[in-house]
Amino acid sequence: MANAIIDESGLRVGEERRRGRAAGINPSGRFEVLSRHVFDDGWSSLDELPAFKTEVQVEKPRTIITRNDSPDISFDRSINPYRGCEHGCVYCFARPTHSYMGLSAGLDFETKLFAKPDAPRLLEKELSKDGYQARTIAIGTNTDPYQPIEKKWRIMREILEVLEAHNHPVGIVTKSALVLRDIDILGRMAERGLAKVAVSVTTLDAKLARTMEPRAATPTRRLETLRALSQAGIPVSAMMAPIIPGLTDQEIERVLDSVANAGAREAGYVILRLPLEVSPIFKEWLLRNHPDRYRHVISLVRSMRDGKDYDAEWGKRMKGSGPYAWQIGRRFEMAAKRLGLNVEKRPLRTDLFKAAGAQADQLMLL
Protein backbone atom coordinates (compact mmCIF):
# COMPACT_ATOMS: atom_id res chain seq x y z
CA MET A 1 0.00 0.00 0.00
CA ALA A 2 2.97 2.32 -0.46
CA ASN A 3 2.25 5.70 -2.04
CA ALA A 4 -1.51 5.24 -1.56
CA ILE A 5 -3.80 8.19 -1.06
CA ILE A 6 -6.60 7.86 1.48
CA ASP A 7 -9.55 10.25 1.41
CA GLU A 8 -12.32 10.87 3.92
CA SER A 9 -14.52 8.09 2.51
CA GLY A 10 -11.74 5.50 2.68
CA LEU A 11 -11.04 5.43 -1.05
CA ARG A 12 -7.44 4.62 -1.90
CA VAL A 13 -5.79 5.27 -5.25
CA GLY A 14 -2.19 4.20 -5.72
CA GLU A 15 0.32 6.50 -7.36
CA GLU A 16 0.96 4.15 -10.28
CA ARG A 17 -2.77 3.89 -11.06
CA ARG A 18 -3.22 7.67 -11.22
CA ARG A 19 0.06 8.58 -12.96
CA GLY A 20 -0.41 11.71 -15.09
CA ARG A 21 -3.66 12.65 -13.34
CA ALA A 22 -4.36 15.44 -10.87
CA ALA A 23 -7.05 13.97 -8.62
CA GLY A 24 -5.89 11.46 -6.07
CA ILE A 25 -9.35 10.20 -5.10
CA ASN A 26 -12.34 8.81 -6.94
CA PRO A 27 -15.33 8.92 -4.57
CA SER A 28 -18.79 7.83 -5.71
CA GLY A 29 -21.06 10.49 -7.20
CA ARG A 30 -23.25 12.37 -4.76
CA PHE A 31 -26.46 11.03 -6.30
CA GLU A 32 -25.49 7.36 -6.01
CA VAL A 33 -27.41 5.17 -3.57
CA LEU A 34 -24.35 3.05 -2.86
CA SER A 35 -20.77 4.18 -2.31
CA ARG A 36 -17.77 2.04 -3.24
CA HIS A 37 -14.85 1.62 -0.84
CA VAL A 38 -11.55 0.03 -1.82
CA PHE A 39 -9.62 -1.74 0.92
CA ASP A 40 -6.66 -4.08 1.24
CA ASP A 41 -7.91 -7.62 1.89
CA GLY A 42 -4.42 -8.88 2.67
CA TRP A 43 -3.87 -10.52 -0.71
CA SER A 44 -2.23 -7.43 -2.32
CA SER A 45 -5.13 -7.30 -4.78
CA LEU A 46 -4.87 -3.52 -5.05
CA ASP A 47 -1.51 -3.89 -6.80
CA GLU A 48 -3.25 -5.77 -9.61
CA LEU A 49 -5.71 -3.01 -10.49
CA PRO A 50 -4.99 -1.38 -13.88
CA ALA A 51 -3.98 2.26 -14.31
CA PHE A 52 -6.70 4.76 -15.17
CA LYS A 53 -6.90 5.09 -18.95
CA THR A 54 -8.83 7.65 -20.96
CA GLU A 55 -12.12 6.24 -22.24
CA VAL A 56 -14.51 8.12 -24.52
CA GLN A 57 -18.22 7.42 -24.95
CA VAL A 58 -20.60 9.05 -27.41
CA GLU A 59 -23.28 11.29 -25.92
CA LYS A 60 -26.41 12.02 -27.94
CA PRO A 61 -27.97 15.29 -26.72
CA ARG A 62 -31.17 16.62 -28.28
CA THR A 63 -29.90 20.21 -28.29
CA ILE A 64 -26.39 21.65 -28.13
CA ILE A 65 -26.79 25.32 -27.11
CA THR A 66 -27.01 25.72 -23.33
CA ARG A 67 -28.72 28.88 -22.01
CA ASN A 68 -28.11 30.72 -18.74
CA ASP A 69 -29.32 33.89 -17.08
CA SER A 70 -26.50 34.35 -14.56
CA PRO A 71 -25.65 38.01 -13.82
CA ASP A 72 -22.04 36.98 -13.06
CA ILE A 73 -21.06 36.14 -16.62
CA SER A 74 -21.10 38.07 -19.87
CA PHE A 75 -22.78 35.51 -22.12
CA ASP A 76 -26.20 33.89 -22.16
CA ARG A 77 -25.42 30.80 -24.25
CA SER A 78 -22.64 28.27 -24.57
CA ILE A 79 -21.65 24.99 -26.20
CA ASN A 80 -19.81 22.07 -24.61
CA PRO A 81 -18.51 19.62 -27.24
CA TYR A 82 -17.29 17.30 -24.47
CA ARG A 83 -18.32 16.23 -20.98
CA GLY A 84 -15.39 15.67 -18.62
CA CYS A 85 -11.90 16.93 -19.38
CA GLU A 86 -8.61 15.10 -19.84
CA HIS A 87 -6.65 18.19 -18.82
CA GLY A 88 -7.55 17.14 -15.30
CA CYS A 89 -7.25 20.54 -13.62
CA VAL A 90 -7.63 19.70 -9.95
CA TYR A 91 -9.59 22.89 -9.20
CA CYS A 92 -12.07 22.56 -12.10
CA PHE A 93 -15.52 23.73 -11.01
CA ALA A 94 -17.11 21.51 -13.70
CA ARG A 95 -16.09 18.30 -11.92
CA PRO A 96 -19.41 17.91 -10.03
CA THR A 97 -21.30 17.61 -13.35
CA HIS A 98 -19.98 14.07 -13.72
CA SER A 99 -22.24 13.05 -10.86
CA TYR A 100 -25.20 13.48 -13.23
CA MET A 101 -23.73 10.61 -15.26
CA GLY A 102 -23.42 8.34 -12.22
CA LEU A 103 -19.65 8.88 -12.18
CA SER A 104 -17.09 10.37 -9.82
CA ALA A 105 -15.97 13.98 -9.92
CA GLY A 106 -12.47 12.71 -9.15
CA LEU A 107 -10.49 10.49 -11.48
CA ASP A 108 -13.61 9.56 -13.49
CA PHE A 109 -13.93 13.20 -14.59
CA GLU A 110 -10.42 13.06 -16.07
CA THR A 111 -10.63 9.58 -17.60
CA LYS A 112 -14.25 8.72 -18.48
CA LEU A 113 -15.12 11.32 -21.09
CA PHE A 114 -18.12 11.93 -23.33
CA ALA A 115 -17.95 13.31 -26.87
CA LYS A 116 -20.87 14.88 -28.75
CA PRO A 117 -20.18 14.22 -32.46
CA ASP A 118 -23.71 15.38 -33.39
CA ALA A 119 -22.93 18.86 -32.06
CA PRO A 120 -22.26 20.49 -35.47
CA ARG A 121 -25.49 19.09 -36.95
CA LEU A 122 -27.53 20.14 -33.91
CA LEU A 123 -25.98 23.60 -34.02
CA GLU A 124 -26.86 24.00 -37.70
CA LYS A 125 -30.44 23.04 -36.86
CA GLU A 126 -30.73 25.47 -33.94
CA LEU A 127 -29.21 28.39 -35.82
CA SER A 128 -31.65 27.85 -38.67
CA LYS A 129 -34.77 28.06 -36.52
CA ASP A 130 -37.19 30.88 -37.19
CA GLY A 131 -36.75 33.72 -34.73
CA TYR A 132 -33.23 32.78 -33.62
CA GLN A 133 -31.35 35.90 -32.53
CA ALA A 134 -27.57 35.83 -32.66
CA ARG A 135 -25.51 36.59 -29.59
CA THR A 136 -22.00 35.47 -28.79
CA ILE A 137 -21.74 31.75 -28.13
CA ALA A 138 -19.13 30.94 -25.49
CA ILE A 139 -17.17 27.70 -25.82
CA GLY A 140 -14.76 26.43 -23.19
CA THR A 141 -16.42 27.94 -20.15
CA ASN A 142 -17.17 24.49 -18.69
CA THR A 143 -14.77 21.91 -20.15
CA ASP A 144 -11.99 22.67 -22.62
CA PRO A 145 -13.06 22.22 -26.28
CA TYR A 146 -9.40 21.71 -27.25
CA GLN A 147 -8.57 18.98 -24.74
CA PRO A 148 -6.40 16.14 -26.15
CA ILE A 149 -9.27 14.00 -27.51
CA GLU A 150 -10.22 16.86 -29.88
CA LYS A 151 -7.23 15.85 -32.01
CA LYS A 152 -9.15 12.71 -32.99
CA TRP A 153 -12.79 13.79 -32.77
CA ARG A 154 -12.44 17.28 -34.37
CA ILE A 155 -15.87 18.32 -33.07
CA MET A 156 -14.72 21.84 -32.26
CA ARG A 157 -13.35 22.30 -35.77
CA GLU A 158 -16.72 21.33 -37.28
CA ILE A 159 -18.57 23.63 -34.88
CA LEU A 160 -16.42 26.55 -36.02
CA GLU A 161 -17.17 25.69 -39.65
CA VAL A 162 -20.90 25.97 -38.92
CA LEU A 163 -20.49 29.24 -37.05
CA GLU A 164 -18.37 30.71 -39.84
CA ALA A 165 -20.94 29.72 -42.46
CA HIS A 166 -23.62 31.56 -40.48
CA ASN A 167 -21.44 34.58 -39.58
CA HIS A 168 -22.17 33.82 -35.93
CA PRO A 169 -19.94 35.35 -33.19
CA VAL A 170 -17.98 33.02 -30.89
CA GLY A 171 -15.78 33.48 -27.83
CA ILE A 172 -13.41 30.67 -26.87
CA VAL A 173 -11.61 29.91 -23.60
CA THR A 174 -8.85 27.29 -23.60
CA LYS A 175 -5.61 26.12 -21.99
CA SER A 176 -4.56 24.25 -25.11
CA ALA A 177 -2.21 25.11 -27.97
CA LEU A 178 -4.44 22.94 -30.18
CA VAL A 179 -6.52 26.06 -30.85
CA LEU A 180 -3.78 27.06 -33.30
CA ARG A 181 -4.93 24.24 -35.58
CA ASP A 182 -8.04 26.31 -36.29
CA ILE A 183 -6.26 29.61 -36.74
CA ASP A 184 -7.38 29.70 -40.38
CA ILE A 185 -11.08 29.73 -39.50
CA LEU A 186 -10.62 31.99 -36.48
CA GLY A 187 -8.55 34.42 -38.54
CA ARG A 188 -11.25 34.77 -41.18
CA MET A 189 -13.94 35.21 -38.54
CA ALA A 190 -11.85 37.75 -36.64
CA GLU A 191 -11.53 39.87 -39.78
CA ARG A 192 -15.32 40.25 -39.66
CA GLY A 193 -15.41 40.87 -35.91
CA LEU A 194 -16.85 37.42 -35.16
CA ALA A 195 -14.22 35.69 -33.01
CA LYS A 196 -12.03 36.18 -29.98
CA VAL A 197 -9.99 33.78 -27.86
CA ALA A 198 -9.05 33.81 -24.19
CA VAL A 199 -6.14 31.69 -23.01
CA SER A 200 -6.12 30.63 -19.36
CA VAL A 201 -2.74 31.22 -17.70
CA THR A 202 -2.98 30.23 -14.05
CA THR A 203 0.73 30.14 -13.21
CA LEU A 204 4.15 30.56 -14.79
CA ASP A 205 5.59 27.80 -12.58
CA ALA A 206 5.92 24.75 -14.88
CA LYS A 207 6.36 22.34 -11.96
CA LEU A 208 3.20 23.58 -10.26
CA ALA A 209 1.27 23.49 -13.52
CA ARG A 210 2.35 19.89 -14.14
CA THR A 211 0.74 18.66 -10.93
CA MET A 212 -2.22 21.04 -10.92
CA GLU A 213 -3.15 20.85 -14.65
CA PRO A 214 -1.30 17.68 -15.71
CA ARG A 215 -2.45 17.36 -19.33
CA ALA A 216 -2.88 21.00 -20.27
CA ALA A 217 -0.28 22.96 -22.23
CA THR A 218 2.73 24.23 -20.30
CA PRO A 219 2.72 27.91 -19.24
CA THR A 220 5.35 28.72 -21.88
CA ARG A 221 3.29 27.05 -24.60
CA ARG A 222 0.21 29.03 -23.58
CA LEU A 223 2.12 32.30 -23.91
CA GLU A 224 3.33 31.19 -27.34
CA THR A 225 -0.29 30.44 -28.27
CA LEU A 226 -1.36 33.92 -27.19
CA ARG A 227 1.39 35.45 -29.31
CA ALA A 228 0.54 33.37 -32.40
CA LEU A 229 -3.17 34.21 -32.19
CA SER A 230 -2.44 37.90 -31.72
CA GLN A 231 -0.05 37.98 -34.67
CA ALA A 232 -2.77 36.35 -36.78
CA GLY A 233 -5.07 39.30 -36.04
CA ILE A 234 -7.33 37.42 -33.64
CA PRO A 235 -8.34 39.42 -30.54
CA VAL A 236 -6.87 37.65 -27.53
CA SER A 237 -7.29 37.99 -23.80
CA ALA A 238 -5.88 36.13 -20.83
CA MET A 239 -7.67 34.59 -17.88
CA MET A 240 -5.96 33.95 -14.56
CA ALA A 241 -8.60 31.51 -13.50
CA PRO A 242 -8.44 30.56 -10.80
CA ILE A 243 -6.21 32.62 -8.56
CA ILE A 244 -5.37 30.36 -5.63
CA PRO A 245 -4.69 32.43 -2.49
CA GLY A 246 -1.43 31.53 -0.81
CA LEU A 247 -0.29 29.53 -3.83
CA THR A 248 -0.53 31.51 -7.07
CA ASP A 249 -1.67 34.99 -6.02
CA GLN A 250 1.94 36.13 -5.67
CA GLU A 251 2.24 35.68 -9.45
CA ILE A 252 -0.50 38.15 -10.46
CA GLU A 253 1.84 40.89 -11.66
CA ARG A 254 4.24 38.47 -13.40
CA VAL A 255 1.42 36.68 -15.22
CA LEU A 256 -0.07 39.96 -16.44
CA ASP A 257 3.33 41.22 -17.57
CA SER A 258 3.85 38.01 -19.54
CA VAL A 259 0.43 37.88 -21.23
CA ALA A 260 0.59 41.57 -22.16
CA ASN A 261 4.00 41.02 -23.73
CA ALA A 262 2.52 38.08 -25.66
CA GLY A 263 -0.17 40.27 -27.21
CA ALA A 264 -3.16 40.07 -24.87
CA ARG A 265 -5.19 43.27 -24.71
CA GLU A 266 -7.68 42.15 -22.10
CA ALA A 267 -7.34 40.15 -18.90
CA GLY A 268 -9.62 38.81 -16.21
CA TYR A 269 -9.48 36.60 -13.14
CA VAL A 270 -11.61 34.32 -10.98
CA ILE A 271 -10.93 33.44 -7.35
CA LEU A 272 -10.63 29.72 -6.59
CA ARG A 273 -14.07 28.07 -6.42
CA LEU A 274 -14.59 24.85 -4.43
CA PRO A 275 -18.22 23.76 -4.96
CA LEU A 276 -19.49 20.34 -3.86
CA GLU A 277 -17.01 17.53 -4.69
CA VAL A 278 -14.29 19.95 -5.82
CA SER A 279 -13.48 20.82 -2.20
CA PRO A 280 -12.26 17.39 -1.01
CA ILE A 281 -10.52 16.72 -4.33
CA PHE A 282 -8.59 20.00 -4.17
CA LYS A 283 -7.80 19.59 -0.47
CA GLU A 284 -6.40 16.09 -1.02
CA TRP A 285 -4.22 17.39 -3.87
CA LEU A 286 -3.02 20.35 -1.79
CA LEU A 287 -2.16 18.15 1.18
CA ARG A 288 -0.30 15.72 -1.08
CA ASN A 289 1.68 18.31 -3.04
CA HIS A 290 1.98 21.32 -0.70
CA PRO A 291 1.43 20.08 2.87
CA ASP A 292 3.33 23.06 4.30
CA ARG A 293 0.84 25.48 2.72
CA TYR A 294 -2.35 23.53 3.36
CA ARG A 295 -3.62 25.35 6.46
CA HIS A 296 -2.68 28.78 5.11
CA VAL A 297 -4.35 28.29 1.71
CA ILE A 298 -7.58 26.88 3.15
CA SER A 299 -7.68 29.64 5.76
CA LEU A 300 -7.40 32.31 3.05
CA VAL A 301 -10.04 30.57 0.91
CA ARG A 302 -12.49 30.59 3.81
CA SER A 303 -11.68 34.20 4.63
CA MET A 304 -12.99 35.11 1.17
CA ARG A 305 -16.04 32.81 1.40
CA ASP A 306 -17.63 33.92 4.67
CA GLY A 307 -15.91 31.15 6.60
CA LYS A 308 -16.92 28.39 4.16
CA ASP A 309 -15.08 26.52 1.44
CA TYR A 310 -17.43 28.06 -1.13
CA ASP A 311 -20.16 30.65 -1.40
CA ALA A 312 -22.35 30.32 -4.51
CA GLU A 313 -24.06 33.70 -4.04
CA TRP A 314 -24.18 35.79 -7.21
CA GLY A 315 -21.81 38.70 -6.99
CA LYS A 316 -19.48 36.79 -4.67
CA ARG A 317 -18.79 33.42 -6.25
CA MET A 318 -16.33 34.71 -8.89
CA LYS A 319 -14.41 37.33 -6.88
CA GLY A 320 -14.97 36.42 -3.25
CA SER A 321 -15.40 38.95 -0.45
CA GLY A 322 -13.45 40.34 2.47
CA PRO A 323 -10.08 42.11 2.83
CA TYR A 324 -7.94 39.50 1.08
CA ALA A 325 -10.29 39.28 -1.92
CA TRP A 326 -10.32 43.08 -2.08
CA GLN A 327 -6.51 43.16 -2.05
CA ILE A 328 -6.30 40.65 -4.92
CA GLY A 329 -8.81 42.67 -6.93
CA ARG A 330 -6.92 45.93 -6.47
CA ARG A 331 -3.57 44.36 -7.34
CA PHE A 332 -5.03 42.88 -10.51
CA GLU A 333 -6.66 46.15 -11.53
CA MET A 334 -3.52 48.22 -10.88
CA ALA A 335 -1.27 45.85 -12.81
CA ALA A 336 -3.73 45.68 -15.71
CA LYS A 337 -3.95 49.47 -15.84
CA ARG A 338 -0.18 49.85 -15.81
CA LEU A 339 0.08 47.49 -18.78
CA GLY A 340 -2.74 49.08 -20.75
CA LEU A 341 -5.00 46.04 -20.47
CA ASN A 342 -8.80 46.31 -20.57
CA VAL A 343 -8.63 49.84 -21.93
CA GLU A 344 -10.96 49.02 -24.79
CA LYS A 345 -13.28 46.04 -25.03
CA ARG A 346 -14.73 45.48 -28.45
CA PRO A 347 -17.97 43.47 -28.58
CA LEU A 348 -18.33 40.90 -31.32
CA ARG A 349 -20.68 41.67 -34.20
CA THR A 350 -24.14 40.09 -34.43
CA ASP A 351 -25.50 42.08 -37.38
CA LEU A 352 -23.82 39.80 -39.95
CA PHE A 353 -25.67 36.68 -38.83
CA LYS A 354 -27.50 34.74 -41.52
CA ALA A 355 -29.79 31.83 -40.78
CA ALA A 356 -29.07 30.10 -44.08
CA GLY A 357 -31.17 27.03 -44.67
CA ALA A 358 -34.16 28.02 -42.59
CA GLN A 359 -36.35 28.72 -45.60
CA ALA A 360 -35.14 25.67 -47.48
CA ASP A 361 -35.98 23.44 -44.51
CA GLN A 362 -39.51 24.84 -44.45
CA LEU A 363 -40.05 24.22 -48.18
CA MET A 364 -39.02 20.61 -47.76
CA LEU A 365 -42.00 20.09 -45.47
CA LEU A 366 -44.50 21.21 -48.10
The tens-digit pLDDT sequence of the chain (366 residues) is 334 444 444 465 777 788 889 999 998 888 888 776 666 666 655 556 678 899 999 999 999 999 998 888 889 999 999 999 999 999 999 999 999 999 999 999 999 999 999 999 999 999 999 999 999 999 999 999 999 999 999 999 999 999 999 999 999 999 999 999 999 999 999 999 999 999 999 999 999 999 999 999 999 999 999 999 999 999 999 999 999 999 999 999 999 999 999 999 999 999 999 999 999 999 999 999 999 999 999 999 999 999 999 999 988 999 999 999 999 999 999 999 999 999 988 899 999 999 865 444 444 444
Residue 205, burial from CB neighbour count under 10 angstroms (0-12, 13-18, 19+): middle
Is 0.85 topped by the overall pTM? yes
CB 284 within 8 A of CB 25: yes
Between CA 314 and CA 78 the distance in angstroms is: 19
Half-sphere exposure of 158 (CA within 13 A, CB side): 16
Residue pair 111/53 in contact by the 8 Å Cβ criterion: yes
DSSP lists the bridge partners of residue 303 as: none
**92, 93, 98, 99: CA torsion to nearest 10:** 130
CA 255, distance to chain mean position in Å, is: 18
Q: Looking at residue 303, what DSSP letter applies?
A: H
Question: Taking the mean position of all CA atoms in its chain, how far away is CA 357?
Answer: 33
Per the CB < 8 A criterion, the answer to whether 294 and 265 are in contact is no
Alpha carbon distance 327, 240 (integer Å): 16
Beta carbons of 331 and 89 less than 8 angstroms apart: no
Spatial separation of the C-alpha atoms in residues 337 and 196, rounded to whole Å:
21
Q: What are phi and psi of 14, to 5 degrees?
A: -70, 155
**Structure confidence at residue 121 (pLDDT):** 98
Residue 27 has a pLDDT of 87
Residue 70: what pLDDT?
86
Written out in words, the top-level CATH class of the domain with range 62-78+116-342 is alpha beta
DSSP class per residue in 228-269 = HHHHTT--EEEEEEEE-TTTTGGGHHHHHHHHHHTT--EEEE
DSSP percent split of the chain into helix, strand, coil, nearest 5: 35, 15, 50
